[in-house]
Structure 1
Amino acid sequence: MRRRVAAVAAVLGVVVAGCSGAPAPDTAPTSVAGTSPVPATGLATALTWVTAADPAVIRVEYGDGAAVRELVARNGRFVSLEGYGYGPLHAHSAALADIIGVDPRKSRQALRVTVVGERIGVLRSDFDVAAVNAKFEALSAQKGDSKDGVTSWLTGVDGAAPGSPLARREFAKAFNQVRVGPERFEHTTAATAVSWTDDPGSSLLADRGLAGLARCLGEVTAALVQRPSYQPFVGAGVRVVDGKPSEVVCTPTRDAEAHLRRVRERLASPTWAAVFPGATAEVPADQPDVVRVVAPDDGTLKIGRAAEAIGGGGELFTLVK
């Protein structure tokens, strides 16, 4: 375990960015070296929270929790977007609220990054920092540095007292290392070999592939970006405009004309026409190295099915590759 975590740390270099006492600004850099300007969407901003070295990152999941709650209140079909950004922890939200004082369902935004077998999570919300720290102290977690209102804890398999309410739960490993601060809660499966950082200078948005997909996807309420077998990232998400959702899929390309032709042919097939009725494919005018598919909502199909097709069996790759 220690050898594997050390290897992760060596590749990762740094884990979570922008973790000083004052919250990092909720705006993304206006440009990335070597790329066109990246609009400061929710996804692009979230990518600045985490630092990792390519090709270590293999999956990024994002959710605008505040927007999802509003959408679900108006239309129950949007319930399929709940949990984006914190994955399997969604099913344990009530238990987490009781054990560590953090309910992921109440987060404004959430980001979950998978890096060579380890996972990093960031939740943004109005946390009761003192109450959350008290919960970890009660769990006999090992207290680390405390600076500018941000406190670190070592828990899970490395720090929690044996038999504690957290250690007994199947999700304990997700909280091996934790940082609690104003408006943010950060956690990772990685153990002591991984260190937090306050240097946002080399964030995920500096990855040209991720930045390009963030630009292509636009302002999404939920998104999943994944790298199949260390090939270029493919991204999918849900845009919502005036309460109407659209499925969006973006993939990089080296031959836009041929790639676009293949995708359009596949979209016309009975299989994909049933999944994405009315879908269109294009090469964005400002991104000649990307193919984008947009499918309007038909009022019956599952919202978020494109991202689900990436995260499940990877069926979506057969459409866009």
Structure 2
Amino acid sequence: MEIVLQFSDTKPSSKRNPNLISTTRNSVTSLLRLPRELRDCIWEYVCGGQLIHVKNSYGLCCYICKATDSPRTMYLRTLEEPNNEYYEKHALNPEIKSHVSCYGRNKLNLEFQRTSRQIYHETTPIIYGMNIFSFSNAMIWFRFMITLKPQFRALIKCMQLDITISKFRDCGEWSETLTIPLVCSLTGLKTLHVFIWLKLGRPDEFRKIKEHMMKDWEGLPEYEANEQKILYTGLGRLQRLPLDDVTCVVCDDEFVYACDDLLLYSDNTLEQLEQEYKWTVADKRRLAERVRTVLLEPWDEVEYQKELEQKKKSGRKDLMITRF
């Protein structure tokens, strides 16, 4: 483990090295003599304001993002007028998902935290609270969270999650890893950026998932209707968090790869398949807004438990429900 252990276990050792020459109070660095307000400004400049990719590379590692556009900028671009019915004016490049150029020499280095117990305590809240932590898949998110102590999880204020929807009737890995204890430990999380990538194997699956997620689900209890609206994202448990801001972008640029077999073995053209199966820009924006709305709605745990108990008594099994 490289960076995560640095996050949670970089506290300077209380054991003294007898080989080191002891220092006097007068030898304290001038940085620590500055007023706390100035030091905090320095720490914010050095440690904050970054999007940090958490990746699995022989252990969990963190890399500073080098992309020019922030998640919010990309979200705001999706609100602009599209090129046509099916394509955004600013289509998300596959690089946005892979961020290949962000890795290599851009690894986050927190060795300076080992130099002083005071620096460690002053910089830790800024590292967690003033950066965006980005996770490309659910297992990396899970490993990162279980490595952190609860008090460090509570410091995180902003996250970016990449959600890949790859199968019909599959709620995805996020529904498995977003456990209630871990979600509820993110008490400081206020801002969430969600990127949904539609990466399905067949064109007809695009249509099936759209039909399910675009339903109004009238007649269901509120929590159950919301659950169904964002079922395939696997993000249902995040409704429990008191989020202040959510952005969501939906991308289906890999639709053409799902059409390979039909293009090869039928007389259909790509334009015909797009008209029959591809999500329009309006469809993607509607799903994005639905995800935002559901995650921003206040969560009523008492009402949820009451409705859940009634459902168990009635024995209803007519809906595919995620494990909340």
Q: TM-score range by the shorter chain?
A: under 0.3
Greater fraction strand: 1
TM-score of the superposed pair, with normalisation by structure 2 = 0.22
Greater fraction helix: 2
Give the number of the structure whose alpha-carbon radius of gyration is greater: 2
